[in-house]
Amino acid sequence: MTAPAAKSMTDIPLIGFGTYPLKGEEASRCVAMALELGYRHIDTAQMYANENAVGRAIKTSGLPRQDIFIVTKVDPSNLGPSRFASSVAQSVEDLGTVPDVLLIHWPPADDALDGTVERLMAEQDKGHARLIGVSNFTPAMLRRAQKIAGGRLICNQVEFQPLLDQSALLATARELGVALTAYRPLARGKAMLPPVIQQIAGRHGRPASEIVLRWIIQQGVPAIPMTTQRANALSNLNALSFSLPEKDMVAISAIGTREGRTINPSWMAGRWD
Residues that are catalytic: 48
CA atoms within 13 A on the CB side of 189: 2
The answer for 184, left when phi > 0, alpha when psi is -120 to 50, beta otherwise, is left
Sign of the dihedral through C-alpha 105, 108, 114, 116: negative
Instruction: Quote the CA–CA distance of 76 and 112 in Å, as a whole number.
Output: 12
In Å, the largest CA–CA distance within the chain is 55
CA 249 from centroid of its chain's CA atoms: 21
Residues counted in the chain: 273
Give dist(CA 191, CA 161) in Å, integer.
7
Exposure pattern of 138-164 as b/e (b: 16+ CB <10 Å)? bbebbebbbebbeebbbbbbbbbbbbb
- Rg over alpha carbons for the chain, rounded to the nearest Å, is 18
Where helices occur in 8-132 by DSSP H, the ranges are: 24-37, 51-60, 84-95, 113-125
Give the number of other Cβ atoms within 10 Å of residue 188's Cβ.
11
Closest Cα partner for 184 from 247, 227, 141, 228?
Answer: 227
